[in-house]
Structure 1
């Protein structure tokens, strides 16, 4: 089997062998073992480099028979590099092995290409996280209520993992929501207004909550590498509140 892909993670295995986790265009996340040649004993394949792999084996763990670079590697440093580490950990923790997810492969390629440039990092990460949620079916519909009713811009809503968006009329909630937000904020998020600071703040709260829910007790170690600023805006019942304004 020949596939194109990026190495997401490497770790030593037995003697001259290395375990490679590869995000591929054709087969999603693949776990494989690569046997180093004598002259490559101290060299491991690098990240951010599109390669073509020839793989063999019928089990979940494939053998890498050959690997060839298809283009020059993308060079990342500083927060861009730490952001890529975070994305790799998301892929490792959330993607099932062997499930073809070509749109996510395309999105990953887009992400690391733009991390190499001067684009703001936060919108890139939020867009990638959303792509993961969409592919795995764990996102909440932000363009309508849980009953499928259209949103009203000025109406305040409460958002829950299980129930989605529900109108809020001032009562103290029995179950703590993820956030409160008006319809305009929810629609701006659904439209992907990543150039808006309020939408980015909302996305950060939503995505962290969805990721924590999906990961359970597992902790993303790479989060500690990225700049972190707690939400310091308006709250309702000690829960973040978002009202959208242009």
Structure 2
């Protein structure tokens, strides 16, 4: 099968043999795909190599050959966002999460659109944490394992003043008031869930609770092997505690992944 002028986002690229690359992309019409880009390491192929960098939006031609497709040509459709700090780590997380959970050669136009929105937001002044929570929500929805964010797993309306544990198979489960501190620490606030469902950015505490709760759901679908971006974030937190600006100028944004 020949693919012509297929839009895609580059998720990952790694050297293969001496002069080639193995590239993973999220394409608009064919879902996640693996591409073999042959002979791209020479000095005359610099433009092509630049087009195959992670986060790049491209248009490519390829010939499908079994599980992998042979790349014929590719061109960048814009300049990939130049990310630094938390946004750079968030971009790595965005790609790794998509790479791990999106199935190969399964058309996911909704996921393609959600990725494009998240990518654009990371390159803007939008909240990094809120950008990632929205993408996680959209990813789960597009894969068919998302939740009804306005009600719990039993169909009862979410109480903004309560806390909920996200059961990957059942949906939100309301916590009882006497549950331990550990259970509450990993639970989302009802206000946070309602805000996520309404696509309205919640306050700092509610946003922070969404990160912890959604991580448990994602870990369930990822299986026993977690994400390298999670490991990187935890290592950085241990080795170099974040320096916060004075409280009067601090922007409350519960970071990345």
Q: Equivalents in 1 of 2:217, 2:198: separation in Å?
A: 19
Cα distance, 1:214 vs. partner? 0.9
TM-score by length of 2: 0.76
1:204 is matched with 211
**Alignment match of 1:193 (pick from 173, 196, 200):** 200
1:139 paired residue number: 146
1:66 maps to which residue?
73
Q: CA deviation at 1:105?
A: 1.4
Gaps of 5+ in 1: 230-246
Change (3 A) 1:126 1:161: same
1:159 to partner: Cα distance: 4.4
The superposition leaves residues 115-171 of structure 1 with CA deviations (integer Å, 9 ceiling, x where unpaired) of 122222111111111111111122333322323233445566554333333455557
- 150-159 or 203-212, larger mean C-alpha shift: 150-159
Deviation for aligned residue 1:210: 0.8
Q: 1:225, CA displacement in angstroms? A: 3.8
Q: Deviations over 1:192-232 (max 9, x none)?
A: 33242133112101111011111111121122444759xxx
Larger helix share, 1 or 2:
2
Output one character per residue of 1:152-191: Cα deviation in whole Å (capped at 9) or x when no partner. Answer: 4556655433333345555769xx7985566545433422
Equivalent residue for 2:170, pick from 163, 182, 185: 163
CA distance in 2: counterparts of 1:194 and 1:51, whole angstroms: 30
Alignment of 1:210-221 (within 5 A): 210-221=217-228
CA distance in 1, matches of 2:192, 2:81: 35
Q: Structure 2, unaligned stretches of length 5 or more?
A: 239-257
Cα RMSD between the aligned structures? 2.9
Cα pair distance change 1:28/1:193, threshold 3 Å: same
Alpha-carbon spacing, 1:148–1:33, altered in 2? closer, same or farther (3 Å)? same
How far, CA to CA, are the matches of 1:181 and 1:13 in structure 2? 43
Counterpart CA distance in 2 for 1:153 and 1:185 is 8
Counterpart position of 1:25: 28
Taking the aligned partners of 1:134 and 1:65, their CA distance within structure 2 comes to 33
